[in-house]
Every structure is written in C-alpha cells, then in structure tokens.
Amino acid sequence: MNYQGGSLRTALAKLDDFADGATFILGHNLIDFDLPHLAAAKPDLRLLKLPVVDILRLSPLAFPRNPYHHLVKHYQDGGLKRAQISDPERDAGLALGVFVDQRRALLRAPPDLLLILHWLCVAQPDGADRALDGFFMELRNARRPSDAEARTEVGRRLDGDACMTQAHAIGAEAGEMGWALAYALAWLSVAGGNSVMPPWVRHKFPEAGRLVQQLRDTACNDPACIWCGERHDARKELKRWFGFLDFRPEPADEEGYPLQRAIVEAAMAGKHVLGILPTGTGKSLCYQIPALSRYDKTGALTVVISPLVALMADQVAGMEARGIGSCVTINGLLSMPERADALNRVRLGDAGILLISPEQLRARSLRRALDQREIGSWVLDEAHCLSRWGHDFRPDYRYMGRFIREKAGNGPIPPVLCLTATAKPDVREDIVLHFQDRLGIALTVFPGGAERTNLSFEVIPTSSGEKFVHIHQILTSYLPTDVAGGPSSIARHAGKAKRLPSFCN
C-alpha cells in the first residue's frame, strides 16, 4: 500500500491490517530507519512484532566484492543511488528484487562460509531472528549449526588467510561477535582485491574493521605462525611487491642496521615515524611497501601528501611499470573526467595509495571520497614543509594535523609516516612537536643524515644572450634521450640527474 496523505494514524492502522497474516517484514534499512520511525509514530503497531529481514544487512554478505548494490533509493548510510521522488511502493518492489539477487549470490557462497554466517547472524532462531533463520535454513538445507561446529569452521576458514594466533583468540569469543565477525569473514573471502567494507558497516559495526586488522595486520611474533612469518616480514614484502632481495645497506644506524629497512619495519608495525634519508636512497619504498602490504591485507587506504605534481606522477608511473595499478593521484592538472574517475577509484576501493597535494584536502569531493574509506596510514613526503620555514611555502601543511584528527574522530590516529631528505635539528624538532602538540603522538626518528654523495655541482660562465642556449644544451646532454611528455617529464628526469650545473653571468 502507498500512503497518499490524510490522517497518519488511519494510514498506519490500514498498514497494520495489510500486514496481518505476514510471516515476516522485508525491506531496506528497516532495522535502523523505518521501524524506529513507525514505533515512534504508533508504538502499538502489531507489525512491529513481526520478524525482520533487512536487505541492507545482507548486502555485504552476499556481495562482499561490491557491496554497493544498486537500488534507486538512498536511505541514510546505504550508499545507494538517489531518486528524485520517494515512492515507497516502488521501493518495496525494488527491495524484493535485491533480495532475490542476494539469495542467488548466497547460494553460490562456499558452504563453510554460509554455515558460519548462519551461526553468527541468527542469535535467536525462535525469536526476533526466526525469519532470517528460515532464510539460511532454506539456503543450506540444514538447521543452525552448533557452537562447537561453527567455531571449528571459523578456524578452518581462517587457516592460511590470517594469523592463527589471533584467530584462536577470536574463535573463543566468536559467538558473541555476531554481525561484526560475519562482515569481517565475508570481506576476507575476497581480500586482496579491490573490495571495501561499506562506510555504514564500519560505523554501525566498528568491530568488523578491527577484527580484520587484528587477524591480518597485527603480528603475533610467534616464530611458528606461517602468516606472520610471510606477511609481516619486510624483506619478503619487498621481494613480493618489487622483486628486490634486500634493502639498501646505506645509510645505516650505529649498529649497521639499514635505515630503509628499519623505517619500513616500523611503518608496517603501525608506529609513527619520521624518516630522514638523503636524496636517492629510496624514501619512496619506505611508504610504498607498508601501504601495499596493508591494502592487500585489510583494504585500507594510505594517503600520501606530496608538494610536487611531477613527483606524484612519477610515483604512479613507476608503480604502474611494475604492474601495480592501485596507486592514484588527484591534483589540479586533472581534467574533470580524470578527477571523477580517480575519486571513484578511491571510493570503490580500487586505490590502495592516494597521492595528493595538501591543498586538495580543501576539496569537498575528495573529503567525501575519503569518508568512504578506512585510512590505514598518513604519509607526509617532503615533511620539512611542516617546519617554521617550510609552511610559508605551503601553508596547508600546517593544517595536516587538524585534518588527521578530524578524520579519525574519536578513534585512534592511524600510523603517521613523515619522510624528508632535509631536516636540520631545528626542523626535525619542529616536525616532532607539530604531531605531539596537535595529535598527541610521538614520532620515532630514524636519522639517516643529509650527506648527498649522489649530487655534485658545476658552475658554467654564460651571458644573457647565451644563457637559454646553454640551458638547452645542458638539458639535452645530461637528461635521458627518451624524455617525452613536456615540462613535467623533464622535471621528473631532472630530479634524477646526477648533477646539473648552475650558471653565472
């Protein structure tokens, strides 16, 4: 039936009569939206006592790789398409169609996962969950499993896909985790791809994201744990993503331990870090390895703040050349279609690393896209821009701490990684104090020195009339012969040149 105006109480009474004889209520976001409104309007409605099947709750289970199933409707945090005019009767028909799709998808789910979901999502088979229990019984052709049977299947399901030390700890209390663990396990069934948990899941069931992090991104330090031995080993992740056997030996700390490796290990462990490495010693790998590893394990996004558009483009091109397509940049040089595509990649989970300038954080479109993702880490490249002298050049760097705090809300601050090749003692102190004062976090400092053996300088006499000719000759002499793509390409290669002379006249 469709309410067309008039007396609301009369319409609700007709709705109650219409629902007489129904076995259960089916709808989209019924539990958190429609039913509370109905209860507030008329608490004695008989239909409020009927069991409920909420298709919003089922979507991340049925479609873990793409939970944004398309209804032409937007309720609260459902993340669905918007219609100009609400039509409840039409919406009910669309909801039924989605339910049919969900049933079809769940029939194709692995039997062990379906057994676990039945156990976790149906806490009261003879009460409020009896409709959902009947739904799972029809899918599985079996009753709700016992606690012992389900816990055994949870352990088997996680074996090889998560830290088993953490899995055993969770398994003991799995029955009390309900929907949160169901969403975590459903996501893990497609982990390593481009899927994300919907924002409403992370908001309504924050434990789901924490469970994924505990299972896959929290090292147990047990030498017998195969998962942690493989996926939390910085050198193995280096080889896995980039094919290198080991990190650069220099610079090293006082005990000879490579600082590049030490920074990566600290970042992978979730520590807040300030890494100071000379130009040409592999700073980019210090954030790329933890970012790619975390994205693969948890689906989290690493946001990299960088001051140079050419440097961002170079980072993206470098990873694409290695077959890594999960790095995206958003900057002021993108066309509107390019920007829209990049934002969609961020929102839908195709991006594991996002490179932006600090000024981009003012854009509402970017902030909305970031709201759709879990932030796994914040990286500040060229972090000296935070210092007293640097922020005069890029003032927005000084607002980074406030933005990170606002994005985290009441939750913990994600790991912060600051990287620079330019950090005298006063600059280093300024960076550390910035995050201590604004976020209450302490950066672990890895000082790699500022010696730049890969750079040399040469002065060539010239005149006003000859200066640009000489510059052209120097560029064509020192830069690679295959430079193409205009000024940005020249700028990227110029940054790699071993030495470029300066001119005097």
Q: Is 376 helix (H, G, I), strand (E, B) or coil?
A: strand
pTM above 0.75, yes or no: yes
Q: Categorize the per-residue pLDDT at 496 as very low, low, confident or very high, splitting at 50, 70 and 90.
A: very low
Residues 319 and 181 in one domain: no
Q: Classify the C-alpha dihedral 383-386-388-394 as positive or negative.
A: positive
Q: Is residue 122 part of a domain?
A: yes
Q: Categorize the per-residue pLDDT at 4 as very low, low, confident or very high, splitting at 50, 70 and 90.
A: low
Q: Is the pLDDT of residue 263 over 90?
A: yes
What's the whole-number mean pLDDT along residues 403-427? Answer: 90
200, 225, 250 - which closes a domain:
225
447, 477, 495 - which closes a domain:
447
Residues 360 and 481 in one domain: no
pLDDT given for residue 339 in this prediction: 94
Please give the mean pLDDT across all residues of the chain.
Answer: 86
**Lowest mean pLDDT segment, chosen from 161-175, 277-291, 382-396:** 382-396
Rounded to the nearest 10 degrees, the angle between the axes of helix 487-496 and helix 309-321 is 80
Q: Is the pLDDT of residue 73 over 80?
A: no
Q: pLDDT, tens digit, for every residue of 222-245?
A: 999 999 999 999 999 999 999 999
**Cβ–Cβ under 8 Å, residues 441 and 435:** yes
Give the separation between CA 351 and CA 345, rounded to whole angstroms: 6
pLDDT given for residue 127 in this prediction: 85
Residues 342 and 432 in one domain: yes
pLDDT given for residue 452 in this prediction: 63
Q: Is residue 79 part of a domain?
A: no
Q: Is residue 145 part of a domain?
A: yes
What's the whole-number mean pLDDT along residues 412-426? Answer: 90
419 or 496, higher pLDDT? 419
Residues 261 and 348 in one domain: yes
Q: What Cα–Cα distance (Å) separates residue 84 from each residue in 72, 81, 197?
A: 9, 10, 27
pLDDT given for residue 86 in this prediction: 64
Closest CA to 313 of 325, 303, 328: 328
Tokens coding 155: 């352990």
Q: What Cα–Cα distance (Å) separates residue 75 from each residue in 41, 68, 121, 183, 412?
A: 19, 13, 22, 20, 28
Give the separation between CA 219 and CA 186, rounded to whole angstroms: 22
Q: pLDDT, tens digit, for every residue of 191-223?
A: 886 788 888 999 999 999 999 999 999 999 899
pLDDT given for residue 328 in this prediction: 95
Give the separation between CA 328 and CA 347, rounded to whole angstroms: 12
Q: pLDDT, tens digit, for every residue of 274-294?
A: 999 988 888 999 999 999 999
Element (H, E) at 339: helix 336-348
pLDDT given for residue 5 in this prediction: 63
pLDDT given for residue 459 in this prediction: 85
Q: Categorize the per-residue pLDDT at 81 as very low, low, confident or very high, splitting at 50, 70 and 90.
A: very low
Q: Is residue 11 part of a domain?
A: no
Closest CA to 93 of 77, 71, 76, 74: 71
Q: pLDDT, tens digit, for every residue of 473-488?
A: 888 887 766 654 444 4
Residues 288 and 405 in one domain: yes
Residues 426 and 490 in one domain: no
Q: Is residue 30 part of a domain?
A: no
Q: Is residue 286 part of a domain?
A: yes
| H, E, C per residue of 126-140 | CCCCHHHHHHHHHHH
Portion of the chain with pLDDT greater than 90, in percent: 55
pLDDT given for residue 393 in this prediction: 61
| H, E, C per residue of 90-107 | HHHHHHHHHHHHHHHHHH
What's the whole-number mean pLDDT along residues 153-157? Answer: 92
- Domain of residue 192 covers 110-225
Residues 304 and 406 in one domain: yes
Residues 384 and 466 in one domain: no
Verify cis geometry, omega within 30 degrees of 0, for the bond prior to 223. no
**Cβ–Cβ under 8 Å, residues 272 and 288:** no
Beta strands in 46-203 (DSSP E): 52-54
Q: Is residue 150 part of a domain?
A: yes
Q: Can you say whether residue 441 is alpha, beta or left, with left for phi > 0 and alpha for psi between -120 and 50 degrees?
A: beta
Q: Categorize the per-residue pLDDT at 67 as very low, low, confident or very high, splitting at 50, 70 and 90.
A: low
Q: Are strands 416-420 and 375-381 parallel, antiparallel or unpaired?
A: parallel
Residues 490 and 406 in one domain: no
Residues 189 and 265 in one domain: no
Closest CA to 354 of 302, 418, 289, 319: 302
225, 249, 269 - which closes a domain:
225
pLDDT given for residue 486 in this prediction: 47
pLDDT given for residue 63 in this prediction: 92
Residues 443 and 489 in one domain: no
Residues 178 and 254 in one domain: no
Q: How many domains does the chain have?
A: 3
Q: Is residue 32 part of a domain?
A: no
Eight-state DSSP code of residue 22: -
Give the separation between CA 243 and CA 233, rounded to whole angstroms: 14
Portion of the chain with pLDDT greater than 70, in percent: 87
pLDDT given for residue 422 in this prediction: 78
Q: Is the pLDDT of residue 377 over 60?
A: yes
